[in-house]
C-alpha cells in the first residue's frame, strides 16, 4: 500500500516534475567491463568482468554516476529505457574519493529529447525521497520510496579510506541502483551509492553538497580531490584534562595531539594547541559542530572547501587565543591508505626479488601478514613516523620468485628500512638507490630487530634477471610513476 500510495502521488505530481517518459530518456543504464590490476603480481592485470549501474543526465553532455560503477573500466556502454540501442560511452572525470564520476557519449543522437536533472537542496530528516535506477532483475526503471533517517559523516566503502557526509534512507540500494538519482519533487537530492548487507531496508546516498563539490572541482578540466586538514586530536570531554590545560570552564574544543606530516596544518598548528572554532563555528568538547541545528563532525567545514582554499582556526596556545589561516591541500604523502583505481601499480623485479610500495590495494590481496601490513599502513603516520623523517612511502619486499639464486623466502612482505644505510623517501628513490649503488654488493635493511639484511650481488642478479622475467611472463622489470629527484 505504501508503494502504491507513493506511485499515485508521483502520478498526481507529474505536471510539476519530470514524467516517466522523460525519466526514461534522462536516466540511463550503464554497462561496464572493468579490469582491476593484480597488486600481488603487479606486472599483470586481473580478468575483466561485467557489471551494470545507473546514471542520469546533468547537462553539458554529461552523465553522472558512481565512481565504483566505472572504476578500472575497459569498456563503457549506456542505454536509455526508451531505446533498444546501446551507445559507446567514455570517461570524463572520476572522483573515487567521493565515489562520483561523469561519463559522456560522442553520438549526437543519444542526447535527443533528454531533460537535464537539476541538483536540489539536502533533504530534511523524516522527509520522503525516491530512488530511481536499474536494479538487477529487470530492464525497466525501478522506483523505490524511502524516508531520510540519518545524516552523518560515514566511510565510503569504494575506497575504504575516505569519509564524507552521507544520507541514510530506509530503502534498500541494490546492485544496479548505484549511480542513480534520488529525487524529491523535481530535484535530485542525492546519488544512490551503497547499501548495508546486514539489513534489507537501509541504503545510503551521496548528498547534494558532495555532488556540488565534485562538479565545482572539475570545472577547470581536472579533478583535484578533497583537501585534508591533517590533525589527530583528543576531545575535551574530561574536565580534568581541561583543568590541566588551563582552560576556562566555559571554553570548549579539542586539543591537538599531532599535526600529520605532509598535511595542511604543518607549520601552522602544534601539539597541545586547543582548537576552539573552525571558520568561526564553535567546536564542542566532543569534536562536533552545530550547523542548521544538526550536530556534525568538524571535518564537514573542510569538506566544503576546494584544494587551494583556506580555513580559519581559532586556537589557544600558551594561554593566548588567536586566529590562524590554514591553506588547504591534499595530503601530500604518496603512500596509498585508500583503495586506488585506474592506476598501474609500481614495482621492481630485481633478480627474482619483487619490491612494491605498501598500499591498501596490495594489503587486501594478502593472505598472510595482512594484519601487520595493515597496522603499518594505518598507523605509520599517526604514531610511528618521526618528525625528522621525510618518508612518503614504505617499500616492501613482496615476494621471491623461485630460482636457484633466490633463497630468501622468509623476507616476503618485509618492510625496507634502508638501502646501503639510506632510508628511501618513496618507491622512486628506492629504485634509484638500488640502481645507482656503486658497490658490487647492495645491502637492504628491513624494519624489526629480528630481520636480517638482504645482500644483493649485482653481477649475479644481472646474469639471471632476464631468464627469471621470461620464466614468469614478465615483460618489463619495473613500473615507476615518479622519477626520483
Catalytic residue among 40, 68, 97, 228: 68
Q: Determine the Cα–Cα distance for residues 193 and 203; give it in Å rounded to an integer.
A: 8
Strand partners, 10: none
What is the greatest pairwise CA distance in the chain? 82
Distance between CA atoms of residues 167 and 181, nearest Å: 13
DSSP codes joined into one string, 184-199? ETTEEEEEEEEE-TT-
Using a 10 angstrom Cβ sphere, with 0-12 exposed, 13-18 middle and 19 or more buried, the burial of residue 476 is exposed
| Cβ contacts of 150 within 8 Å, gap of 6 or more | 125, 167, 168
Distance CA 98, CA 238 (A): 34
DSSP per-residue string spanning 229-250: --EEEEE---HHHHHHTT--TT
Catalytic residue among 99, 228, 426, 445: 99
The question of whether 213 is a catalytic residue gets the answer no
Q: What angle do CA 329, 332, 334 make, to 5 degrees?
A: 150
Catalytic residue from among 26, 40, 54, 178: 178
**Rg of the chain's alpha carbons, rounded to an integer?**
26
Q: Which grid cell sits at 242?
A: 581541561
- Is 178 part of the annotated catalytic residue set? yes
Active-site annotation, residues: 68, 99, 178
Amino acid at each position: 500500500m505504501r508503494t502504491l500510495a507513493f506511485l499515485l502521488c508521483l502520478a498526481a505530481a507529474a505536471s510539476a516534475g519530470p514524467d516517466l517518459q522523460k525519466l526514461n530518456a534522462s536516466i540511463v543504464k550503464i554497462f561496464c567491463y572493468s579490469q582491476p590490476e593484480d597488486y600481488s603480481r603487479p606486472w599483470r592485470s586481473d580478468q575483466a568482468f561485467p557489471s551494470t549501474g545507473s546514471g542520469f543526465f546533468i547537462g553539458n553532455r554529461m552523465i553522472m554516476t558512481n565512481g565504483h560503477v566505472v572504476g578500472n573500466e575497459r569498456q563503457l556502454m549506456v542505454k536509455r529505457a526508451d531505446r533498444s540501442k546501446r551507445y559507446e560511452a567514455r570517461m570524463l572525470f572520476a572522483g573515487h574519493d567521493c565515489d562520483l564520476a561523469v561519463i559522456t557519449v560522442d553520438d549526437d543522437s543519444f542526447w535527443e529529447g533528454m531533460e537535464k536533472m537539476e541538483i536540489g537542496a539536502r533533504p530534511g530528516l523524516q522527509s520522503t525521497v525516491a530512488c530511481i535506477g536499474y536494479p538487477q532483475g529487470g530492464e525497466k526503471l525501478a522506483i523505490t520510496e524511502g524516508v531520510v533517517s540519518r545524516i552523518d559523516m560515514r566511510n565510503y566503502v569504494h575506497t575504504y579510506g575516505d569519509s564524507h557526509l552521507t544520507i541514510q534512507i530506509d530503502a534498500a540500494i541494490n546492485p544496479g541502483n548505484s549511480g542513480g538519482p534520488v529525487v524529491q519533487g523535481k530535484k535530485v537530492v542525492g546519488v544512490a551509492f551503497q547499501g548495508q548487507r546486514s539489513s534489507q531496508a537501509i541504503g545510503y546516498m551521496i548528498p547534494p553538497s558532495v555532488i556540488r563539490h565534485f562538479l565545482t572541482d572539475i570545472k577547470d578540466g581536472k579533478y583535484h580531490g578533497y583537501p585534508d586538514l591533517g590533525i589527530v586530536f583528543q576531545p575535551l570531554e574530561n574536565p580534568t584534562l581541561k583543568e590541566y590545560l588551563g582552560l576556562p570552564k566555559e571554553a570548549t574544543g579539542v586539543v591537538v595531539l599531532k599535526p600529520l606530516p605532509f598535511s595542511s596544518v604543518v607549520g601552522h598548528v602544534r601539539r597541545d594547541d586547543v582548537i576552539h572554532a573552525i571558520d568561526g563555528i564553535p567546536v564542542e568538547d566532543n569534536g562536533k559542530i552545530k550547523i542548521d541545528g544538526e550536530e556534525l563532525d568538524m571535518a564537514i567545514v573542510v569538506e566544503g572547501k576546494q584544494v587551494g582554499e583556506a580555513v580559519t582556526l581559532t586556537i589557544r596556545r600558551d594561554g593566548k587565543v588567536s586566529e590562524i589561516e590554514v591553506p588547504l591541500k591534499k595530503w601530500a604523502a604518496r603512500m596509498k591508505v585508500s583503495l586506488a583505481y585506474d592506476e598501474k601499480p609500481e614495482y621492481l623485479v630485481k633478480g627474482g626479488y619483487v619490491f612494491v610500495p605498501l598500499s591498501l590495494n596490495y594489503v587486501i590481496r594478502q593472505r598472510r601478514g595482512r594484519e601487520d601490513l595493515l597496522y603499518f599502513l594505518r598507523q605509520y603516520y599517526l604514531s610511528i613516523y618521526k618528525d625528522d623523517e621525510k618518508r612518503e612511502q614504505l617499500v616492501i619486499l613482496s615476494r621471491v620468485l623461485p630460482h636457484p639464486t633466490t633463497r630468501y623466502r622468509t623476507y616476503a612482505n618485509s618492510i625496507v628500512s634502508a638501502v646501503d644505510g639510506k632510508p628511501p623517501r618513496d618507491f622512486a628513490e628506492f629504485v634509484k638507490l638500488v640502481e645507482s649503488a656503486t658497490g658490487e654488493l647492495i645491502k637492504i635493511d628491513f624494519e624489526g630487530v629480528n630481520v636480517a639484511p638482504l645482500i644483493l650481488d649485482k653481477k649475479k642478479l644481472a646474469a639471471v634477471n632476464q631468464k627469471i622475467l621470461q620464466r614468469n611472463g614478465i615483460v618489463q622489470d619495473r613500473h615507476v610513476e615518479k622519477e626520483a629527484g
